[in-house]
Structure 1
Amino acid sequence: MKKYTIQNKPFVVPTTDGKLIEEHFGNATDKNTEISIAHMVAPPKWKEPFQTPAFDEYTYIIKGKKQFIIDGEIIILEAGQSIKIEKNTRVQYSNPFETDCEYLAVCLPAFSIDLVNREE
């Protein structure tokens, strides 16, 4: 039995807001996983509602810029920068800029919609 897994066909999460989400490892691809790793592209002017996830989220910006509002503080990351947001922290993710933002997101424990706790 091999002790590695190569992911050639990530699960593309259906979205309605123009954001590309390709989960390489996580609950959509491997059910019982402890971590999720996703490649994402947020289009210009994209944003999500505020949320208080029950997981730590690590984000690495590959291209463009991404805005975070964390406990009322606005933080803008650019290509080459990364951030860890601890679980149970209120945050809003957005790309209010004119170009795509490409990034990697790693969640621990693995991303699950029932752990996001999005505000209406």
Structure 2
Amino acid sequence: MKKKYTIQKTPFVVPTTDGKVIEEHFGLASDNNAQVSIAHMVAPAGWSEPFQTPEFDEYTYIIKGKKQFIIDDEIIILQAGESIKINKNTRVQYSNPFTTACEYIAICLPAFSMDLVNRED
């Protein structure tokens, strides 16, 4: 009988070049049919990425540290214990301009894909 649950003990570690740690527990990296992605992330102090307009909703829960979001020219800073949902097709920039690393969980629906993130050059 097939089990009705999946335990993830070895998340897919996404290779990065900017010092950010991305451990995808569920998502397209490990399951081509994934409907959602759930990742544990650590953004180092001083980290940032380009503006993007993703074609997925993104939920972020901050575990430790602080993370900055620029959404439609509004700067939002979240800290441990706070969370945010950013609706798909919203222009956003993620960064950690602070002096300590930020640890967080990111959930994307539909699942994160580079084809859907629409990062600016």
Scaled by the length of structure 1, the TM-score of the pair is 1.00
- What are the superposed Cα offsets for residues 7-63 of structure 1, whole Å, 9 maximum, x if unpaired? 000000000000000000000011111000000000000000000000000000000
Tell me the distance in 1 between the aligned counterparts of 2:115 and 2:45: 27
State the partner residue of 1:90.
91
State the partner residue of 2:36.
35
State the partner residue of 2:105.
104
Runs (4+) of structure 1 moved beyond 3 Å? none
Equivalences for residues 1-40 of structure 1 within 5 A: 1-40=2-41
Counterpart code for 2:51: F
Scaled by the length of structure 2, the TM-score of the pair is 0.99
Partner secondary structure for residue 40 of structure 2:
strand
Q: Where do 5+ consecutive residues of structure 2 fail to align? A: none
Counterpart code for 1:76: I
State the superposition RMSD in angstroms: 0.3
Tell me the distance in 2 between the aligned counterparts of 1:80 and 1:68: 16
Tell me the distance in 2 between the aligned counterparts of 1:5 and 1:50: 34
Partner secondary structure for residue 30 of structure 1:
coil
Q: Where do 5+ consecutive residues of structure 1 fail to align? A: none
State the partner residue of 1:55.
56
Tell me the distance in 2 between the aligned counterparts of 1:107 and 1:93: 14
> How many residue pairs end up in the alignment?
120
Tell me the distance in 1 between the aligned counterparts of 2:13 and 2:32: 15
